[in-house]
Amino acid sequence: MIEIRDLSRTYGSGSNKAHVLHGIDMNIERGAFTAVLGKNGCGKSTLVRHINAILKPQRGSVRVDGMDTKDPRRLYDIREKAGIVFQDPDSQSVAATVEDDTAFAPENLGLSEDEISERVEAALRAAGIAELRKKSISELSGGQKQLTAVAGIIAMRPDYMIFDESTSMLDPLARSRVLECVMRLKRELDVSVIWITHYMDEAAAADRVVIINDGKIAADGTPEEVFSDIELIERCGLELPPCAQLCVMLKNAGYDVPRLALNAHDCALLISGMTAAAVKEREGAS
């Protein structure tokens, strides 16, 4: 479990001092898919960089499976447990080929050559890019580059995977491929996923949604709970997932919408249910 207690951080000093995080308290359970939302500069990336011990808490504490991120002796154990995939697919690769880049983390861990080869093979298969192993990274598409970064993290065998707006620079098809891959990894490898995003439809697929606003937690709950508070969503500079927006539009147009649908499948079920009820009502009336 990741335990974050009273986490605060400021950047700059004097009149330029900016409070990025204010006393954040939260736990992230093993096996959960947690989406973190918030407008630009609200402190999402700063928060997750504390989990990976890239940043050390100025106040408060962050513990990953009981290990304090301030403890320098546990630094690499924490980084091995909680890997991050960053935003820009072009700035994360260290090696020239997919296979070599995937091997970078196991090489850093000082594993034996056999163990490295085994982990690279498993990571490439898990990320679904085994056929690209010999390809030069410069020849890959943005989505394939991000999947290579994912494989590079899987090769560390982490328990927590953090995605810091990792789909924001991808086209819709590549975005859905990366998200599908992450969902599959969560299911098959039982890793916890912490997913920072600006796409509400991605957040709707999570088990839990946390909204950060002005360095504080503004909402924390299931997607249904969080997205049902439309006023809060707007106040935090966000918007509802597209399907939920459609439900709100239908409601405003006078239709009897019983609840918000957060994804296309749920939306289809809701509308077909509403249509069936309307047909039944008309038949009853005639």
Partner 1 sequence: MLRDITIGRYVERSSVLHSLDARSKIIGALLCSVLTLSCGSLLSMAAIAALTAAAAIVSRIPFNYILKGIKPIRWFVLFTAAVSIISADGEPIWQYGALRISAEGISAAALTSARLLLFVTSASLLTLTTPPVVLTDGFARLMRPLRRLRVPTDDIAMIISITLRSIPAFADEAERIMKAQRARGADLSRGGLITRARAVIPVAIPLFISVFRRADELSLAMDSRCYGKGTRTPRKKTHFGRNDLYCLIIMILFCGFLAIIEFYN
Q: Under the rule (CB under 8 A), what is the footprint of partner 1?
A: 49, 52, 54, 76, 79-80, 83-84, 86-88, 90-92, 94-97, 100, 103-113, 116-117, 120, 134, 136, 138, 149, 152-153, 156
Nearest CB to partner 1, comparing residues 34 and 93: 93
In this complex, which beta carbon is closest to partner 1, that of residue 80 or of residue 224? 80
Instruction: Round to whole Å and give the CA distance between 6 and 23.
Output: 4
**Distant-in-sequence, close-in-space partners of 2: CB < 8 Å, separation ≥ 6:** 27, 28, 51, 62, 63, 64, 65, 82, 160, 192
Q: Which residues, other chains included, contact 195 with Cβ-Cβ below 8 Å and sequence gap of 6+?
A: 33, 34, 35, 36, 163, 182, 202, 203, 206
In the complex, the smallest distance separating the C-beta of residue 52 from partner 1, rounded to whole angstroms, is 5
Closest contact distance (angstroms) between CB of 91 and partner 1 is: 4
| Residue with Cβ nearer partner 1 (88 or 239) | 88
| Distance from C-alpha of 144 to C-alpha of 281, rounded to nearest angstrom | 51
DSSP percent split of the chain into helix, strand, coil, nearest 5: 45, 20, 30
- CB 127 to partner 1: min, Å: 15
At a CB cut-off of 8 Å and minimum separation 6, what does 276 contact?
none
In the complex with partner 1, the residue whose CB is nearer, 162 or 206, is: 162
Helix (H, G, I), strand (E, B) or coil at 5: strand
Task: Report the residue number, 149 or 194, with the smaller CB distance to partner 1.
Answer: 149
Task: Tell the smallest beta-carbon distance from residue 99 to partner 1 (Å).
Answer: 9
Taking the complex as a whole, how short is the minimal distance between the CB of residue 152 and partner 1, in angstroms?
Answer: 6
Question: What letter does residue 92 receive in the DSSP assignment?
Answer: S
